[in-house]
Amino acid sequence: MNLVREISLQTIEILTLIFGILGMTLALMLLFAPRIARNLSSIFNRSLDMDRKLGFLDREIQTENLVYAHPLLLGVLLLAGSGFAFLFFLFKFDPIHFASIFFGNRQPTELGEILFQTIAWIGRVVCLFGVAAGVGLILAPKTLRAIEQRLNRWIETRVLFDKINRPVKSLDMVFFRYPIFFGLLAGSISCLLIVLSIINLLH
């Protein structure tokens, strides 16, 4: 687990260094060659057709026929799986042990204990809902189906995707209207990222 953690940290540090170098390049271009930066921005600008890319999400998927065609079988499976998971979260799940694995023994693990304790309680609540759903499928599938139909909601996402699909040019205009300010800001942030990533990699 420590090896995986070290590899993950080094990967994050390398990515931070790469983004810092890219940010420094952009900052230098904004300071000394804003026209080239604007030309590159116009080259890399792309318009995505969200309707074509995400049209498959706008389909209605019927799962009721599969679930309620075999309510007894699926109810037993759901009851057994949720019961087993509930017993695991109740008796076998140790937040202190998991916190020491993911956060290490050298540093305080109070935050990790709170995080995994929250995960344990969420898991128990979800498992109780799964047990209730399994019992409902076994004993009263028609009642459970009526409750599910009442809870079904249709969410309109067209407005959100229409906003995403609109071209926004104001951001580029702000950057290229004040190139010195944004160049210095991006350069200082990129310099900080580069220095921190190099120090962490050397250590």
> Residue 163: what residue type?
K
CA distance 172 to 13: 29
Longest dimension (CA), the chain: 74
34-43, 58-67, 135-144, 163-172: the lowest-pLDDT one: 163-172
Identify the burial level of 132 via C-beta atoms within 10 angstroms of its C-beta, where 0-12 means exposed, 13-18 middle and 19 or more buried.
middle
For residues 144-153, give the mean pLDDT.
Answer: 78
**Span 71-123, pLDDT tens digits:** 888 889 999 999 999 999 888 888 888 777 777 665 556 777 888 899 999 99
Q: Which two tokens stand for residue 57?
A: 């999400």
The chain-wide mean pLDDT, for the chain, equals 78
Q: What pTM does this model have? A: 0.49
Tokens matching residue 185: 């800001």
What's residue 85's pLDDT? 93
- H or E stretch covering 171: helix 170-177
Supply φ then ψ for residue 108, to 5 degrees.
-60, 140
Measure the CA–CA gap between 130 and 21, rounded to whole angstroms. 49
Q: What percent of the chain has pLDDT over 90?
A: 14
Q: Give helix 170-177 / helix 34-44 axis angle, nearest 10°.
A: 170
Whole-angstrom distance, CA of residue 35 vs CA of residue 176:
9
Is residue 48 scored above 70 in pLDDT? Answer: no
pLDDT tens digits, residue range 181-190? 888 888 889 8
SS3 203: coil
DSSP structure class, residue 89: I
